[in-house]
Structure 1
């Protein structure tokens, strides 16, 4: 078990979320029952996929998502959970390093980071590049970002 895997399990433990393994409907890799504090994962996933699915499902819990069949709301919840998980799995320093050595090649970067390509893409969605500065989780207004990195 890697330190990041232990970190995810600790997040689940702190949130009182029980992680179960078993068959999941519709062939998905994971599902969460936020109201019951349960996350179910498909057994037999490789380490990178397991890590990313668990982080995504914990995102549903952290964001308090209620299941919905309304397409636009469901898509927004899925995107938010994926971004939440990506921010737990990838640090800006690690991202900067692998982006530089792999000149932006997403497949190579995701392998080095130990995440799925979709998780890396979610991380990139929360970045805003303005000139020689990258902002993590930018919002409207001065000083409204989680982190700022000068890249020039």
Structure 2
């Protein structure tokens, strides 16, 4: 188990979330039951997929998501969970390094980072490049960002 896997397990432990392994319906990899503080994962997943699914399901708990059949709400919950997971699985420094190393090839970057392609894409979605500076999770107003990287 890697350091990031230990970190995710510790997040679950601190939040009182129990992780169970079971065959899931409809071929799913993970499910969250926020009201019962349970995450169910499909057993036997490769390490990269397991890590990403666990982080994604932890995000649903962090936001208190309740599954919705209403398309726009469901889409927002899923996008937000992927972005939350990406920000915990990828550091700006690691992203910058692998982006240069693999000339921006998303698949190769994902393998190098030990995550799935969707997580790299979610990380890219929270970036804003303005001139020679990249901002992570920018918001309106001066100085409102999670991280700033000069890339000139």
Structure-2 residue corresponding to 1:31: 31
Structure-1 residue corresponding to 2:105: 105
- Aligned positions of 1:37-56 closer than 5 A: 37-56=37-56
- Aligned positions of 1:59-70 closer than 5 A: 59-70=59-70
Structure 2 residue matching 1:80: 3-state secondary structure:
helix
Structure-2 residue corresponding to 1:21: 21
Deviation at 1:127, TM superposition (A): 0.5
Structure 2: runs of 5 or more not aligned: none
Structure-2 residue corresponding to 1:74: 74
Structure-1 residue corresponding to 2:90: 90
Alignment partners' CA distance in 2, 1:63 and 1:88: 15
What CA deviation, in whole Å up to 9, does each residue of 1:9-40 have, x standing for no partner?
00000110000000111111000000110000
Alignment partners' CA distance in 2, 1:124 and 1:72: 21
Alignment partners' CA distance in 2, 1:52 and 1:24: 17
Structure-1 residue corresponding to 2:140: 140
Structure 2 residue matching 1:66: 3-state secondary structure:
coil
Structure 2 residue matching 1:13: 3-state secondary structure:
helix
TM-score by length of 1: 0.99
What CA deviation, in whole Å up to 9, does each residue of 1:74-115 have, x standing for no partner?
010000001000100000000000000111011110000000
Select between 109-118 and 135-144 the one with higher mean Cα deviation.
135-144
Structure 1: runs of 5 or more not aligned: none
Structure 1 moving runs of 4+ over 6 Å? none
Structure 1 residue matching 2:16: 3-state secondary structure:
coil
Alignment partners' CA distance in 2, 1:71 and 1:101: 38
What CA deviation, in whole Å up to 9, does each residue of 1:45-86 have, x standing for no partner?
000000000000000001111111101100100000010001
- Please provide the CA RMSD for this pair: 0.6
Count of matched residue pairs:
152
